[in-house]
Structure 1
Amino acid sequence: MRAGRDFGRLETLLAREGYQERPVAVLDLDAFDANAEDLARRAAGTPLRIASKSLRLRGLLDRVLARPEYAGILAFTLPEALWLVEHGARDVVVAYPTAERGALRRLAIFPEALDAITLMVDETAHLDLLLEATSDLRPLSAGRRFRLALELDVSYIPAPGVRFGAFRSPLRTAAQTVDLAREIQARPELALVGLMAYEGHIAGVTDAARTPYGAAVRAMKGLSRPEIAARRAEVVAAVREVAELEFVNGGGTGSIESTAAEDVVTEIAAGSGLIGPGLFDHYRDFAPRPALLLGVSVVRRPSPNVATLLGGGWIASGVPGPDRLPTIAHPTGLTFATQEAAGEVQTPVLGPAAERLRVGDTVWLRHAKAGEPAEHFASYLLVRGDQIVGSQPTYRGEGAVFL
């Protein structure tokens, strides 16, 4: 939670209100709202589109979208997008291409979803699969078309064989992107409405370390930013000769300022900064407040200076390494056992602070990523100040599983 959080008072509050079961996920609404405000400040007037995978709670999505600086959802799968539209969402961009034929068929016969959902594509195979999967359902409801967006790859490749950024779209040049735009416009069932370019090597790579690695990351970002801006502007200008674009999406929590500075960008994707997970403790230019705590129980004392937690093995996705482990928020002075780290069924923690722990005590963790804890909890307990103000079901708690 916020700096200086009194964990004793938090545990007293939970006990007083009858929340004694562990594990428990506690969301600090004060920190969450402060983070939402700070993201909007950093965007300086550019609308923010919420990355749903960083929350995975409809109630929190609604809470953020009620703010005037936020508009629309960036979903991670088409089934999720359809489910969100069924629950009232009216502007959902699916961030990744889909090959789920059943979901595409559901979309084709769902008028509200056809109006609300934009699919991501980056090659003609996506167009072919979409049209083949729905060929017997055409014409679409009331003359509607499938809304599509192109994804431009903006990874940084300063030399052959040297790449910074995720392997996403094959589209890197204006010529490649325009060719696919023309393919879309030539098919009457399709409408090109947007373009997305995610600079993950800037937005998602920490840069605060005062080490040679940290200096190298900062240098890489400094070289990549102008290259992205120039290429994105060139591609957008070229595509707009073929189709009117409703939106140009870019960025992420870690690149809001530089993305907002580009005139062609009409909206910025963000989500993790609302939660402030462990990986976000290590950025140089911004510091979100930790909003989500995960409480687990001590169930064993196998030896002096060792306490064993039940569960706690919530390892973040990505390149395996120590930074994918949870952060131990409280008590301070605990470390993971090198031979076990954080395990699915038990997690030993070591250090003098472990000697003071007793069976039944709570150790508080923070996940390295923002949305992944929601796959392990049916609900989050909502706290404001020193009051419990309710709870909110996760996607899982609502019986929805998408990946």
Structure 2
Amino acid sequence: MSNATSERVALLTRYNRATVALDPPFAVVDLDAFDANATELVKRSAGKPLRVASKSVRCRHLIGRALDGPGWRGVMAYTLAEAVWLVESGVSEDVLVGYPTADRLTLRTLGTDPKLAASVTLMVDSPEQLDFIDAAAGGSAARETIRVCLELDASWRPVGQRLHVGVRRSPVHSAEQAGALAAAVAGRPGYRLVGLMSYEAQIAGLGDAPAGQRARGAAIRFIQRRSMPELVARRGAAVAAVREHAELEFVNGGGTGSVAATSADPAVTEVTAGSGLYGPALFDGYRAWRPRPAAFFALPVVRRPAPGIATVLGGGWIASGETSRSRQPVPWLPEGLSLIGTEGAGEVQTPVTGPAADALRVGDRVWFRHAKAGELCEHVDTVHLVSGDRIVDTVPTYRGESRTFL
């Protein structure tokens, strides 16, 4: 038996023992793996603080656990309502909203509360968004000063506008555009420009060693080798252009897949990470660092339709993004199971096959890993926290606290 196989057997034994009194479906987070991942991410950040990406955790208790560790500071939220909740509930007094907002009601709340206004930073990439904020929260004389961060597009455009490699985010791509927007913000009453952010999705969000796709992996590695030096130069120029109009508190970049590379950029002062705490299945396709799997969900075997096949109840917990097999959950324990290509992970049932299927009986558990990280928490109200072979706590997810922000 290989070391990897023996480790999987030990995990299966440990998780089954810890949760023997529970009926699936349920989710667990292995605190030993979670803490080890948090420590390793800090090492990879080379002294630059890490900001927790809340979308990749979606559990207040576990966001707080990361923030309690050395090297972690602040939260990147995904909606303004979430950011306000995290501040009001005491999770953090430094919350950057990672995406522009159109939430009129919460903007009014932000503009009338001095503590919230001092703790929450909004993301902007155009003057139009400032117009919207003014219309919703009131002009500068009628509200608190709003903290804002500019987003610089981090995609790679090797042949101008004709080829776009990365995600479609900010329209601000050049240093000149960043400087012009910074001037517009600085000259506008009621705003304080405090940060610049850029997310290099083609590096942080793409695994460079996807299983069974050697050509795709080689293409991704080529893109990453070429795009990172271009971004470092452009981001440095953009930061310099913005600093002509504002004294920045932070320059944020990266994600779990690029912590080490982004931290090496001298213009960056902090890096965002979140998925690496849970170690979801998509990160198995990264060469530089693969986090320990820490988040799992268990489903019960409910029938045996044929030799070599066992069927579990539910299972269709599909990840967002491009529609492909990589967005399906991965049957992880016991080792030696896979989904059936003609059915995949189903709404109410999921057949699994493979060498381990014949040993499964009705009532046994199959342990899955979600393709992404925090999206797991949208399917369960609680997460059972496991250390060793016992549950040490059970904590609510965002969904369990009736906080389904998106």
Query: Match for residue 150 of structure 2?
Result: 150
Quote the offset at 1:333 in angstroms: 2.1
The answer as to 2:208 corresponding to 1:207 is yes
Query: Match for residue 14 of structure 1?
Result: 19
Cα distance in 2 for partners of 1:106, 1:92 equals 15
Equivalent residues of 2:140, 2:189 under 8 A apart: no
Equivalent residues of 1:109, 1:137 under 8 A apart: no
Q: Which amino acid aligns with 1:156?
A: W
Query: Match for residue 31 of structure 1?
Result: 33
Quote the offset at 1:3 in angstroms: 4.0
Query: Match for residue 265 of structure 2?
Result: 262
Quote the offset at 1:330 in angstroms: 1.3
SS in 2 for 1:7: helix
Q: Which amino acid aligns with 1:261?
A: A
Query: Match for residue 348 of structure 2?
Result: 345
Cα distance in 2 for partners of 1:165, 1:3 equals 36
Q: Which among 120, 128, 133 is matched to residue 130 of structure 1?
A: 133
Q: Deviations over 1:330-366 (max 9, x none)?
A: 1222221222100121111123422221111110000
CA RMSD of aligned residues (A): 1.5
The answer as to 2:51 corresponding to 1:46 is no
Q: Deviations over 1:87-126 (max 9, x none)?
A: 0120000000001111111111122110100000001110
List structure 1 segments (4+ residues) > 4 angstroms apart after TM superposition: none
The answer as to 2:175 corresponding to 1:174 is yes
Aligned CA distance change for structure 1 residues 3 and 287 (closer, same or farther; 3 Å) = farther
Cα distance in 2 for partners of 1:384, 1:258 equals 32
Alignment size in residue pairs? 397
The answer as to 2:284 corresponding to 1:281 is yes
Query: Match for residue 81 of structure 2?
Result: 79
Q: Which amino acid aligns with 1:73?
A: V
Cα distance in 2 for partners of 1:120, 1:338 equals 41
SS in 2 for 1:205: coil
Equivalent residues of 2:14, 2:388 under 8 A apart: no
SS in 1 for 2:29: strand
Aligned CA distance change for structure 1 residues 112 and 354 (closer, same or farther; 3 Å) = same
Q: Which amino acid aligns with 2:239?
A: V
Cα distance in 1 for partners of 2:292, 2:164 equals 32
Query: Match for residue 304 of structure 1?
Result: 307
SS in 2 for 1:156: coil
SS in 2 for 1:280: helix
Cα distance in 1 for partners of 2:293, 2:357 equals 23
Quote the offset at 1:387 in angstroms: 2.1
SS in 2 for 1:342: coil
Farther-moved stretch of structure 1 (357-366 vs 159-168): 159-168
Q: Which runs of 5+ in 1 are unaligned?
A: none
Equivalent residues of 2:125, 2:150 under 8 A apart: yes
Quote the offset at 1:267 in angstroms: 0.3
Query: Match for residue 190 of structure 1?
Result: 191
Equivalent residues of 2:19, 2:390 under 8 A apart: no
Q: Which amino acid aligns with 2:169?
A: R
Cα distance in 2 for partners of 1:66, 1:395 equals 19
Q: Which amino acid aligns with 1:256?
A: V
The percent of aligned pairs where both chains have the same amino acid is 52
Cα distance in 2 for partners of 1:282, 1:184 equals 40
What TM-score do you get using the length of structure 1 for normalisation? Answer: 0.96
Equivalent residues of 2:17, 2:389 under 8 A apart: no
Quote the offset at 1:174 in angstroms: 1.5
Farther-moved stretch of structure 1 (323-332 vs 241-250): 323-332
Quote the offset at 1:315 in angstroms: 0.6
Query: Match for residue 221 of structure 1?
Result: 224
Quote the offset at 1:136 in angstroms: 7.0
Query: Match for residue 62 of structure 2?
Result: 60
Q: Which runs of 5+ in 2 are unaligned?
A: none
Cα distance in 2 for partners of 1:151, 1:305 equals 51
Cα distance in 2 for partners of 1:7, 1:158 equals 47
Equivalent residues of 1:294, 1:366 under 8 A apart: yes
Query: Match for residue 364 of structure 2?
Result: 361
Cα distance in 2 for partners of 1:124, 1:177 equals 12
SS in 2 for 1:133: helix
Cα distance in 2 for partners of 1:149, 1:137 equals 17
Quote the offset at 1:68 in angstroms: 2.4
Cα distance in 2 for partners of 1:111, 1:216 equals 49
Equivalent residues of 1:108, 1:137 under 8 A apart: no
Equivalent residues of 2:74, 2:95 under 8 A apart: yes
Cα distance in 2 for partners of 1:75, 1:48 equals 14
SS in 1 for 2:19: helix
Aligned CA distance change for structure 1 residues 13 and 174 (closer, same or farther; 3 Å) = closer
Q: Which amino acid aligns with 1:12?
A: R
Quote the offset at 1:55 in angstroms: 0.3
The answer as to 2:303 corresponding to 1:315 is no
What TM-score do you get using the length of structure 2 for normalisation? Answer: 0.95
Quote the offset at 1:259 in angstroms: 0.9
Q: Which amino acid aligns with 2:96?
A: V
Quote the offset at 1:9 in angstroms: 3.6
Cα distance in 1 for partners of 2:250, 2:369 equals 34
SS in 1 for 2:267: coil
